[in-house]
Amino acid sequence: MNRKIAVYPGSFDPLTFGHLDIINRAMTIFDEVIIAVTRNSKKDPLFTVEERVGLIKAAMKENSRAKVDTFEGLLIDYVHANKAKVIIRGLRAISDFEYELQMAQINRNIAKDVETVFLMTSVFYSFLSSSVVKEVSSLNGPVDGLVPPIVKKALDAKFGR
Ligand code: PNS
């Protein structure tokens, strides 16, 4: 059987309801979705890779079709190693477009057999990003409804509450 495997890569620092929305919708299209947390983030992360993986696993309902993993190096190498043909990315506002277009095009330049599929973020989460969540939480603002309760708890702990 030719299982359709998609890789949803990112920093996930931390997971938000926007990410979960994309994951749940990708699950309706693909047989298997691998949520792949990058180990070589250029950003200065708040959570360690292991903490981020733990939070994603804890926030997701038990699902044999969704796997949480980490990757190092070129995304395309990871996609090939997992016999996937698709990279999933969420698109929010037009401001995401340039960065995402560049990434999709460089990945396509590296490998013609892998497609990037964009899912438009639900309008309710279109303003949401891990960065704004971290900023609001660091300033003791409310992030309920933006991140799963387990992530909120982890943010509180990080910021000494
Ligand atoms: O959530 P992010 O930070 O926007 O995710 C970016 C990510 C991890 C998908 C991207 O930086 C990536 O694919 N990094 C792996 C290195 C790579 O393959 N670079 C070439 C394509 S830009």
Query: Which three-class secondary structure state does DSSP give residue 82?
Result: coil
Which atom of ligand 1 lies at the shortest distance from residue 103's CA? 22
- Partnered with residue 90 across adjacent β-strands are 119
8 A C-beta contact, residue 34 and residue 6: yes
**What is the predicted pLDDT for the residue at 134?**
98
Active site members? 19, 43, 92, 130
Q: Could you tell me the pLDDT band of residue 2, with boundaries at 50, 70 and 90? A: confident
Half-sphere exposure of 121 (CA within 13 A, CB side): 21
Task: Please indicate whether residue 9, judged by its CB atom, sits closer than 6 Å to ligand 1.
Answer: yes
Average pLDDT over residues 71-91: 98
Q: What is the pLDDT of residues 48-71, one digit of tens each?
A: 999 999 999 999 978 889 999 999
| Domains defined for the chain, CATH in brackets | 5-158 (3.40.50.620)
**What is the predicted pLDDT for the residue at 145?**
96
Rounded-to-integer distance, Cα 127 and Cα 36, Å: 23
8 A C-beta contact, residue 130 and residue 18: no
**What is the predicted pLDDT for the residue at 24?**
95
Average pLDDT over residues 81-89: 98
Provide, rounded to the nearest whole percent, the portion of the chain with pLDDT above 70: 99
Task: Please indicate whether residue 75, judged by its CB atom, sits closer than 6 Å to ligand 1.
Answer: yes
Q: Whose CA is nearest to atom 16 of ligand 1?
A: 74
Among 120, 124, 114, 70, which residue's Cα sits nearest to residue 93?
120
Q: Could you tell me the pLDDT band of residue 95, with boundaries at 50, 70 and 90? A: confident
Cα 86–Cα 88–Cα 92 angle in degrees, nearest 5: 150
**What is the predicted pLDDT for the residue at 64?**
87
Q: Please give the backbone phi and psi of residue 99, each rounded to the nearest 5 degrees, phi first.
A: -60, -45
8 A C-beta contact, residue 46 and residue 134: yes
Q: What is the pLDDT of residues 103-148, one digit of tens each?
A: 999 999 999 999 999 999 999 999 999 999 999 999 999 999 999 9
**Cut 0.85: pTM above it:** yes
Q: Please give the backbone phi and psi of residue 37, each rounded to the nearest 5 degrees, phi first.
A: -90, 125
